[in-house]
Structure 1
């Protein structure tokens, strides 16, 4: 196996074209309150944390001559703030992109119409509005893929072929307004969806804690901002989430639930199909 290294004497890995994080910004319906403050963007500190982790990893792996110096939270915030203050009042999906050489790019586009309000916690009861979820028809080849491919699972980059291909395989029996969330998995364990981390509440569970998959070398996936937040708040805990467990959740009327969560939508309810 090729180990990550910035040394020119070792085999060079293909470096990602950029790293990024996606967040939500909702301004007043009547006006954009100026100046925009950091408190108006949910979990911004965790978005900065995620970007820094990815930048440091690829800078060490691929070399500082490619990635340059970490631009710093203050500079990222100033560029983000400038874009947001130029936007019209509304509900936005915001993407912060950092390219090699420490170049920062900020995209601000309307949030998806089905995004719903950004929520930090699961609903106490199973809501009627649920996103369809389907198992990927192919296993994720964790044990046979090269290190550079696994790195694309652990850090959010614009090189998203793994996710795009799985998403495409899962769009069966969908309409123009309905899209399946596709669950990535090994032969036995659930990892994440193509957009979100997940957690389950088993039928007739005696614990109020939701179980989210364990992040390990055998089960690598993106450690998203909402996952970090929910773990820190004790809402979810790491544990085994197997394909067999999902079959238990399919049994109606027994109280099993599955949720997804990410930095754009917050927490959302899923339904296995």
Structure 2
């Protein structure tokens, strides 16, 4: 489904948090803390996303998920303690990265309502808004233009780490919901930490190892959560990409499309039981 005018305030908020506050805080934080600890603290993005999705979109938070969030929080506290022991500058750098994770958690949760929109349009609009905001900030503080080589490297990072990543994130949110998608993406910081060590970062110690184990356990525990019960769907009319034969889209076509397609369609009231995730059709309360 295409973006609508009513989506603009949400897109502006997403760009402000996800393409403004998040990258700026991360860039400053990376200059003042180790790459390994910064990568690992980014795992807390899953914690912020899950709690906000629970509060705003009624996504499931059972005992297992709460335990997973507690492990993530404990791991983050261990990392903060570790950096606090190494000096104030390192701690402030880590807290800046923590601010970035909170900003991206808000961004992730706001994007939940746009998961059924055309992801290409969402990415392009958010990129335009975010680039405008950060460019204005750079001009305001007198930041010099980067060299051609640095600009090319930044463009490649932005196109893959932000643009392509956001496209995949939105597609995943359609199937998993915001919280579980956040946990899947929380594996990325562990890859970043491993690369930091491989590139020569030797700041990792016992506390950092403990924090990483706690966080990894939290991510795995969250992804292992399974959810199914009898639930009721109210009558609903909306537009999004869908297929037939999934138990929720049995409206008539002549002929029935074999591939995924998008149009306005209506769901009659229904009550049934099956395993499910908090997608566009399962926002019921528990």
Query: Could you say whether these structures have the same fold, taking a TM-score greater than 0.5 normalized by the shorter chain as the test?
Result: no
Query: More helix per residue: 1 or 2?
Result: 2
Query: More strand per residue: 1 or 2?
Result: 1
Q: Which has the higher contact order (CA 8 A, sep 6+)?
A: 2
TM-score class, shorter: under 0.3
Query: What TM-score do you get using the length of structure 2 for normalisation?
Result: 0.23
Query: What TM-score do you get using the length of structure 1 for normalisation?
Result: 0.24
